[in-house]
Structure 1
C-alpha cells in the first residue's frame, strides 16, 4: 500500500509514519499544497496512493481544501468510485462542523487526535485497505 501523510505537526507526523509504515510505503508532506503536489506526481508516475491522511489544520492550504483539490484532480482524470484514493482526515478538532465538512468534501473517515491505533486499524479494515490478517 502507498500512503501519503500530510501533517504539519512534527510529533503527529512521526507517530503516523511509524504506525502506518507497518502497512506500506509512506511519504510525508507538511502542508496541503505539498500534499496535492505529491498526489498529482504519484498519479503522473503511475504509482497512485492508496491512502491519504490529511490533517485539517495545516498552513498554506488546509486539509479540507486539499481534499477538494485531490477530488477535483481525480474527476479531471476520470478516476471514479472505488478507484479514488481513500482519505482519512486527522485533527485535534472534534466539533461536528469539521466532521460534516470533511465528509462533504469526500473523505472516507475521520480520526481525532491523539490517534487511537486500535480504532485507526479498524477504520483501515472498514474502508478496505487492510484485512483482518494484516492487523499489526
Structure 2
C-alpha cells in the first residue's frame, strides 16, 4: 500500500510513520502544500496513493483544502479514489462535518489510537479482516 502522511508536528509525524510503515510505503509531508506536491507527483507517475492521512490544521495549506483538491483532481481526471483519513487534535465537530462533506472516508482524533486506525483501515478495505 502506498501512503501519504501530512502532519506538521514532527513527533506526531514520526510516530505515525513508524506505525503506518508496517502497512506500506510512507511518504511524508510537513504541510498541505508539500502534500499536494507529492500527490501530484504520484499522479504524474501513474502511482497514486492508496491512503492519505491528513492533519486538518497545517501551515500554508490546511488538510481540508488538500482534501478538496484531491477529490476535485480525482473527478476531473478520472483517477482512482484514494482513501482519506483526516486527523486532528481539535474536538470541533464543525471541522469533522466539513471533512466528511468534502469527501473524507474516516476521521481520527489525536493522540492517535493505533488500534482504532487499524480498525478504520479494515473498514475501508485497506487491510484484511
TM-score of the two chains, using structure 2 as the length reference: 0.97
Q: Which residue does 1:28 correspond to in 2?
A: 28
Q: 1: distance between equivalents of 2:77 and 2:69?
A: 12
TM-score of the two chains, using structure 1 as the length reference: 0.93
Q: 2: distance between equivalents of 1:78 and 1:3?
A: 20
1:40-59 matches, within 5 Å, as 40-59=40-59
**RMSD between aligned alpha carbons?**
0.7
1:46-85 matches, within 5 Å, as 46-79=46-79, 83-85=80-82
Q: 1: distance between equivalents of 2:40 and 2:76?
A: 11
Q: 2: distance between equivalents of 1:21 and 1:30?
A: 17
The DSSP-based 3-state class of the residue aligned with 2:121 is: helix
* Cα offset, 1:70, TM superposition: 0.8
* Cα offset, 1:73, TM superposition: 1.1
Q: Which residue does 1:107 correspond to in 2?
A: 104
Structure 2 unaligned regions, length at least 5: none
The DSSP-based 3-state class of the residue aligned with 2:97 is: helix
The DSSP-based 3-state class of the residue aligned with 1:49 is: coil
Q: Which residue does 2:16 correspond to in 1?
A: 16
* Cα offset, 1:48, TM superposition: 0.8
Give the count of matched residue pairs: 129
- Write out the 4+ residue segments of structure 1 that deviate beyond 2 Å after TM superposition: none
- 1:89-111 per-residue CA deviation (whole Å, 9 max, x = no partner) reads 00001221111011011100000
The question of whether the paired residues in 2 share the 8 Å contact of 1:40 and 1:73 is answered with: no
